[in-house]
Amino acid sequence: MTATIPAISHDDIYSLLQLCQSYDARNIDGIMRSSWHDAAAIARWDRDGAVEAIKIHFATSTERIMPGHVTAILKSQKSGPAPVAELRAKGDLAAICAPNTSFGGLPINTDGDPIRTAYEINDAIRHHCPRCDSEPMRACYNHVSGKDRRIPCMDRIKRK
């Protein structure tokens, strides 16, 4: 017998759309609720993950969020390279400087001056980053470019 993933409810979708509405003042109707529910069911969203994905999206983007954005962020949180500490323990220093996939291959310019509000999500700035090994109260670091990140690594936001 295989475990089933609980389906996201129509009420959950309405709550997620209300969260989106708090950022972008969208008008929510039945058609929108139905199409978002269909996309969430196909991509097998979980409610808590979708809430975090919406918060991450609006902390890092000015685009109007669509179901595909949520799905992409959820997928990026499930994959990616091993945290730096794990790679160091294995002696795999080459992998530390491998191309960055911590944002799921999304075309996000992460280098530059840290965005304070992005680091406030889940109080990320006050915690060590398991992905890039940044200390609390320090911005995340891109080992490929050698620059600070504008936004924290996903693992730091999620505190894995």
Residue 145: per-residue pLDDT: 73
Calculate the alpha carbon distances from 39 to 67, 74, 116, 139 in Å. 6, 13, 32, 34
Residue 8 · residue 37 · CB < 8 Å: yes
Residue 3 lies in a domain: no
Q: Where are the beta strands (DSSP E) in the chain?
A: 141-142, 147-148
Identify the band that residue 67 occupies on the pLDDT scale cut at 50, 70 and 90. very high
pTM given for the model: 0.50
Residue 55 · residue 121 · CB < 8 Å: yes
- Find the largest Cα–Cα distance for the chain: 54
> Do 105 and 141 belong to one domain?
yes
> In DSSP terms, which residues pair with 142 in a beta bridge?
147
Query: Which residue's entry shows tokens 């936004």?
Result: 151
* Nearest Cα to Cα of residue 121 among 81, 67, 73, 68: 73
Residue 42 · residue 76 · CB < 8 Å: no
Give ∠ CA 132-111-97 in degrees, rounded to 5: 40
> Do 88 and 136 belong to one domain?
yes
Q: Tens digits of per-residue pLDDT, 125-136?
A: 899 998 888 888
Q: Which structure tokens are listed for 146? A: 């050698």
14 or 150, greater pLDDT:
14
- Report percent pLDDT > 70 for the chain: 76
> Do 150 and 132 belong to one domain?
yes
Residue 4 lies in a domain: no
Residue 151: per-residue pLDDT: 86
Q: Which of 63, 78, 93 is the last residue in one of the domains?
A: 78
Residue 39 lies in a domain: yes
Total domains present in the chain: 2
Neighbours of 138 (CB within 10 A): 15
Average pLDDT (128-149) is 85
Residue 5 lies in a domain: no
Whether 2 shows a pLDDT value over 50: the answer reads: no
> Do 67 and 95 belong to one domain?
no
Residue 50 · residue 72 · CB < 8 Å: no
Q: Which domain holds residue 149?
A: 84-158
Residue 35 lies in a domain: yes
> In DSSP terms, which residues pair with 158 in a beta bridge?
none
Strand, coil or helix: 49: helix
Average pLDDT score, the chain:
80
> Do 106 and 66 belong to one domain?
no
> Do 125 and 153 belong to one domain?
yes
99 or 34, greater pLDDT:
34
Q: Tens digits of per-residue pLDDT, 9-39?
A: 999 999 999 999 999 999 999 999 999 999 9
> Do 73 and 105 belong to one domain?
no
